[in-house]
């Protein structure tokens, strides 16, 4: 008598204790900005400007000249939360049952650490994107840098005939040589008041950064080669300049590059790293486990005239 197995599903090895989670990029930009904490709603960036007018000396008397001006810019944070409720009993019919505690009363979800680790990473991924791309008009909770810079006429535009090598505005970074031209234009357009600032940095997406590496390699700079460490970390110095470039995921696909001092670009929040602080609690009345994160976030620039932009198309 032979086995009759035609109604069985073929066996697949399943390890209920292992759960793979997807790779997620971090909030790299936030770590590079100047933090402003304790903001419940809005806070001002107070700025002072003055001049120093030389006068003829060699005589007595006091002759006042010059003007000191105090102005403000407002950093408004968005109030954000991420919440989800989970039913541990829903895992009973599947292989995941092996990860549940014994009995029928579940006061915690299976794979709790994997779940919370991934959830926090995804929150940081979204925050990285929002720091650059958020728009209040699109339903987001604050305006990101791209939107702020679009509304500031004093931001320096470098994708113009005055700065781009060859004198023609670029329409794509994909063409060989264009990415390097764009960074050379940024370097030429940065205001002289801040060009030598120690915290000057150029932000771009990984797509543009890879195009820059391609152009540097193709140009065959004999005195400069992109190291594997630079390529993987997303940081390098543009050949022939002291300009530091950092690739950030928040600018992927935006067709834009921005240069500015990190001390001129602010990230506002109520409590630093609050987006990483979560609660995961069991509710006796509903038999559900609830995940919750609440935080505040917003960005602002103090002196927009010291931001240099390279955008395709210009001003976009």
Give the H or E element holding residue 300.
Answer: strand 288-301
What digits encode the pLDDT tens for the residues 139-168?
999 999 999 999 999 999 999 999 999 999
pLDDT at 63: 84
Which pTM value belongs to this model? 0.85
Q: Are residues 203 and 242 in the same domain?
A: yes
Q: How far apart are the first and last CA of the chain?
A: 77
pLDDT at 11: 39
pLDDT at 17: 46
Q: What angle do CA 173, 178, 182 make, to 5 degrees?
A: 90
Residue 216's Cα: distance from chain center in Å? 25
Alpha helices (runs of H) in the chain, residue ranges in sequence order = 28-32, 112-133, 145-150, 178-189, 206-219, 228-233
Q: Are residues 279 and 244 in the same domain?
A: no
Q: How many domains does the chain have?
A: 2
CATH number at residue 206: 3.30.2320
Q: 42: domain range?
A: 28-48+68-143+267-298
Give the H or E element holding residue 189.
Answer: helix 178-189
Judge whether 212 lies within some domain. yes
pLDDT at 15: 44
CB 257 within 8 Å of CB 157: no
Largest CA distance in the chain: 123
Q: Are residues 122 and 261 in the same domain?
A: no
Q: Are residues 170 and 261 in the same domain?
A: yes
What digits encode the pLDDT tens for the residues 247-267?
999 999 999 999 999 999 999
What digits encode the pLDDT tens for the residues 126-140?
999 999 999 999 999
Using 70 as the pLDDT threshold, list the residues of the chain that sit under it.
Answer: 1-26, 95-96, 221-224
Sorted by sequence, the CB contacts under 8 Å of residue 237 that are 6+ apart come out as 243, 244, 245
Judge whether 131 lies within some domain. yes
pLDDT at 115: 85
DSSP designation for 10: P
pLDDT at 114: 84
Judge whether 89 lies within some domain. yes
Judge whether 55 lies within some domain. no
């Amino acid at each position: 008598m032979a086995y009759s197995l035609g109604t069985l599903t073929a066996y697949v090895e399943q390890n209920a204790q292992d759960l793979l989670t997807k790779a997620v990029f971090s909030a790299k930009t936030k770590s590079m900005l100047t933090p402003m904490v304790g903001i419940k709603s809005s806070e001002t960036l107070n700025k002072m400007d003055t001049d120093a007018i030389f006068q003829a000396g060699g005589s007595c008397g006091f002759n006042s000249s010059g003007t000191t001006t105090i102005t403000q810019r407002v950093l408004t944070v968005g109030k954000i939360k991420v919440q989800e409720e989970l039913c541990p009993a829903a895992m009973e019919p599947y292989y995941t049952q092996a990860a549940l505690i014994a009995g029928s009363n579940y006061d915690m979800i299976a794979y709790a650490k994997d779940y919370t680790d991934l959830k926090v990473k995804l929150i940081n991924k979204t925050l990285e994107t929002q720091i650059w791309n958020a728009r209040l008009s699109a339903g987001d909770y604050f305006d990101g840098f791209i939107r702020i810079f679009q509304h500031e006429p004093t931001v320096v535009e470098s994708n113009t005939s005055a700065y781009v090598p060859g004198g023609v505005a670029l329409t794509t970074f994909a063409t060989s040589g264009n990415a390097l031209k764009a960074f050379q234009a940024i370097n030429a357009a940065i205001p002289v008041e801040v060009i030598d600032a120690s915290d000057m940095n150029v932000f771009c997406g990984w797509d543009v950064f890879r195009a820059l590496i391609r152009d540097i390699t193709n140009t065959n700079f004999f005195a400069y080669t992109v190291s594997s460490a630079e390529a993987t970390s997303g940081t390098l110095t543009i050949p022939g300049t002291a300009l530091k470039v950092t690739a950030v995921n928040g600018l992927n696909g935006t067709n834009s590059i921005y240069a500015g001092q990190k001390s001129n670009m602010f990230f506002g929040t109520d409590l630093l790293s609050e987006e990483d602080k979560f609660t995961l609690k069991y509710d006796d009345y509903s038999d559900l486990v609830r995940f919750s994160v609440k935080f505040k976030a917003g960005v602002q620039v103090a002196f927009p005239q010291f931001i240099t932009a390279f955008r395709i198309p210009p001003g976009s």
